[in-house]
Amino acid sequence: MVDIVNIRAHAKDLLEKGTVKMVLGYQRGTAGVLAEPAFITDAGQADHLVWDPTCVQNLALYLVNEKKAQSHQRDPDTRPIAIIAKGCDSRAVAVLLQERHFERKDVHVIGVSCGTLGVVDKNKLSKALNGRVATKVEPHGTDSFKVTTAEGFVDVAAADVLADRCLECACAYPAMHDVVFGEKHEDRGYPARFTALGQLEAKSEDERWAYWEGHFNRCLRCYACRSVCPMCYCPECVVDSIELMVDPTTSADEKANRIKWIERSAVASENSMYHLVRAIHLAGRCIDCAECERVCPVDIPIRMLNNKLEKEAKDMFGYEPGLDPELPSLVASFRDDDPNSFIR
């Protein structure tokens, strides 16, 4: 069990000593049951921190954003940032370290173990509650949640309301941390990794295309999946093509004919391009925090695309992202015995 009092005390200690400039954590949200990210810079505010199964966000995103903001500051505060990281979040930090996005000394990882549970899926929760509105979710034992609603307490089985990714989670315990709260559980008793993916893979080619075409058709191209992903930090995204050097001699033709790999219109062909490019760019980097899928307003199963590449990388190249910041990345390394039989 993770006791929030210990986390608060640790955060307060860090801020009072001034060893970190900010603690990234979770606080009670103002809209709905889910917690919201908290940016604590003052030791007095450390008591706002919460830790419960509604802390769904991957806070590694804010490390990236902070780094971006720093590059625009004249006199940036270069003290490290403390981040409360679940197992998946700590792997995201490890991938960012692997890519030298920042250095190990720039981040203080406060690991929290999800134990045998994980975080809740908001949609599954409201379904399980039959329309009642949850106001609080607490862990109850090792396999259920105690949910508080206006009508009283309800006990909900964890397997019914856990987010899909938590059901298949292989890293509920943060591998990389400076300090850790909670204990490690080897057997979580949920489906094996890639169970949902396997079901999709088992379908025929036509069924799979019908499935994905239907989903890509509905994409709005709001780019929420891109904005929420801690790994999508390129200054200019390949789908935007907004940074064109324009000087007085640039002709209208040149402006109009700048390279646009993907049109901005939200039609099926361009949407599939966008999602395929996004998936490929995350190959060997995605740590399956499934934030992209959570924020998607039209519920496209984006996680499956990432899962597919993660599985191939694991099966064929023995590569798992976010385990060792010192290893070279998936597409920047090779082995002599990589699969070759598919090549003519």
Partner 1 sequence: MASTPTQTPKDPSVFEPRIVAFLCKWCSSAGSDLAGVSRMQYPSNAVPITVMCSGSVSPVYILSAFNKGADGVLVSGCHPGDCHYLKGNYFARRKIFLVQKLLSFIGIEKDRFRMSWVSAAEGAKFAQVVEEFVRDIRTLGPQRKLKAKR
Chain residues binding partner 1 by CB under 8 A are 201, 205-213, 238, 261-263, 267-270, 272-273, 276-277, 279-280, 283, 305, 308-309, 312-313, 316-317, 330-332, 334, 336, 338-340, 342-344
CB 273 within 8 A of CB 219: no
Tokens of 304: 């499956």
Type of residue numbered 181: F
Q: Which residue has the tokens 């509105």?
A: 133
Cα 91 from Cα 138, distance rounded (Å): 25
Provide, rounded to whole angstroms, the least separation between the CB of residue 230 and partner 1: 21
CB of 246 to partner 1, least distance (A): 23
How many whole angstroms from its chain centre is CA 113?
16
* Angle (deg, nearest 10), helices 268-281 and 205-218: 100
- Closest CB 284 distance from partner 1, rounded Å: 8
Smallest gap from Cβ 214 to partner 1, in A, equals 11
Query: CB-wise, 206 or 247, nearer to partner 1?
Result: 206
Q: Which alpha helices (DSSP H) does 219-263 contain, by range? A: 224-228, 252-256
Q: Provide, rounded to whole angstroms, the least separation between the CB of residue 256 and partner 1.
A: 16
Report how far residue 198's alpha carbon sits from residue 191's, in angstroms, rounded to the nearest whole number: 11
266: Cβ–Cβ under 8 A, 6 or more apart, which residues? 219, 220, 221
Residue (129 or 200) nearer to partner 1, CB: 200
Closer Cβ to partner 1, 68 or 203, answer by number: 203
Question: Measured from the CB atom, is 44 or 198 closer to partner 1?
Answer: 198
Residue 75 or residue 336: which is nearer to partner 1 going by CB?
336
